[in-house]
A and B are shown apart, each in its own frame.
Chain A
Amino acid sequence: MNTNNSSHSVTFEKTRKKFGTLVALDKLSLQIPRGSVYGFIGPNGAGKTTAMRILVGISKPTSGSIKVLDADDVTDVRHLIGYLPEEKGLYKRMRVVDYIVYFGRLNGMRKRDAVAKAKALLSEFQLTDWEKEKCQALSKGMGQKVQLMATLVHDPILMVLDEPFSGLDPVNVEVVRSIILDKVKENSTVILSTHIMEQAESLCDAVVLINKGKAVLEGPIDEIRKGDVVSVDHDGDISVFDGLQGVVSVKQVGRAATLQVDPEYDVHTLLKTIFERTRVTQFNSNSASLHEIFIREVGGSEVVSQTTPDA
Chain B
Amino acid sequence: MLDRLYSVWLIAQRDWFEATTTKMFWLSALLMPVVTFALAIFGMVAATIASTSVSVGSYYVIDHSDGLAQEIRNEILRSDLTNFMFVLADRDPRSDDEEILRDVHEATQTSTIPVLVGSFVEHLQHPQRDFTTTSGDSLAKRFSVWWSNNKDRIIELAPNVSFAQYEEILTPNLSEQELISLLKDEEILGYFIIPETFVSSSENAKFVTEKILKQDLANWYERFATRVIQNKKFAESNISRETAMWLLQRASFRTSRAIASSRDSRTDSTAGTASSAGEETTKEVTAWEAAGEFAPIVYQYILWFLVFIGATVLMTNTVEEKSTKLVEVLLSDLDPVELMDGKLLGSALTLLTVVGLWIFLISLPVMMGSGAVIAFLPQAEEFLESGVLNSIFNPLHVINFVIFFVLGFSFYGYSLSALGSVCSNIREAQMMATPINLIAIVPLILMFPIALDKTGPLATIMSYIPPFTPFVMMNVVAEIDWLNYVIIFTWMSACTLGVRWLAKQVYTKGILLENKPAGIKGLVRLVGGSS
Contacts and interface: CB of A to CB of B under 8 A. Distances in A.
B361 interface: no
A75 B10 contact: no
B326 A78 contact: no
Interface string A73-89: 00100110101111111
Contacts of B331: 57-58
Nearest to B15: A91
A103 interface: yes
A58 B332 contact: yes
B447 to A, nearest CB: 37
Interface in B308-337: 321, 323-326, 328-335
B530 A102 contact: no
A81 B18 contact: no
A77 to B, nearest CB: 12
Nearest to B512: A309
A75 B10 CA distance: 18
Nearest to B21: A93
B333 A93 contact: no
Contacts of A151: 329
B138 to A, nearest CB: 85
Nearest to B321: A89
A153 to B, nearest CB: 11
A81 B516 contact: no
A307 interface: yes
A102 to B, nearest CB: 6
B333 A78 contact: yes
B3 interface: yes
A89 B7 CA distance: 20
Contacts of B530: 20
A107 interface: yes
B20 to A, nearest CB: 12
A94 B18 contact: yes
B260 to A, nearest CB: 53
A311 B514 contact: yes
A56 B332 contact: yes
Contacts of A88: 325
Contact of B332 (A83, A308, A311): A83
A169 to B, nearest CB: 21
Interface of B: 3, 7, 10-11, 14, 18, 21-22, 321, 323-326, 328-335, 512-516, 530-531
CB-CB nearest 4 A-B residue pairs: A89-B324, A83-B332, A87-B325, A89-B326
21 contacts: A57-B332, A59-B512, A78-B332, A85-B325, A86-B325, A87-B328, A89-B325, A90-B326, A93-B22, A102-B14, A103-B333, A106-B7, A106-B330, A106-B333, A108-B3, A147-B329, A151-B329, A307-B516, A309-B512, A309-B513, A309-B514
